[in-house]
Amino acid sequence: MRLREIMTSSVENVSLGSTVLDAAKKMKSRNVGSIPVCEGDKIVGIVTDRDIVLRTVADGKDPKACRCEEIMTRELILGSPDMDVHEAAQIMADEQIRRLPVADNGRLVGIVAIGDLAVKPIFVNEAGDALSDISKPGQNLM
């Protein structure tokens, strides 16, 4: 099975100049924990709920004034529409990410979440294994 078969293709995104508040509102309305940042139709970053907390709130920045380009994660891990779902699950586990943007020649075409992998019975164990690897605590915890 390929990612194109299970990915969410109607992905909300924000621009580099969007405010963090705009990103947070879109995330709330879609009930998601991350939102891709695009320049035109090219994905250039991603803003996660964690980015908002650590790089905006904890730093005392104003979410109405702070721009997504200031806090986004730029080091993207991307899937492709033709990527095998097993490979995507392994990447998500290895990189400890819960959401994998899907791009075709740099153009955002979808996103896959851990929950998408668990929808098909044959991938439930794989999704569980990936989530288990993703949820391992860091070594710097108290």
pLDDT given at position 142 = 40
Q: Which domain holds residue 121?
A: 3-134
* pTM, rounded to two decimals: 0.81
| Residue 141 placed within a domain | no
**Lookup result for tokens 């509102």:** 25
Look up residue 39 and give its two tokens: 């320049």
Question: Cα–Cα distance between 56 and 47 in angstroms, integer?
Answer: 11
140 lies in some domain: no
Residue 45 φ/ψ, nearest 5 degrees: -175, 180
pLDDT tens by residue, 35-55: 999 999 899 999 999 999 999
Q: Is residue 128 part of a domain?
A: yes
Q: In what order do the strands lie in the sheet with 34-39?
A: 14-15, 34-39, 42-48, 107-113, 99-104
For 3, which DSSP code?
G
CATH number of the domain that residue 61 is part of: 3.10.580.10
Are 20 and 67 within 8 A, CB to CB? yes
Domain count, the chain: 1
How confident is the model over 59-86, as pLDDT tens digits? 999 999 999 999 999 999 999 999 999 8
Stretch 110-117: mean pLDDT: 89
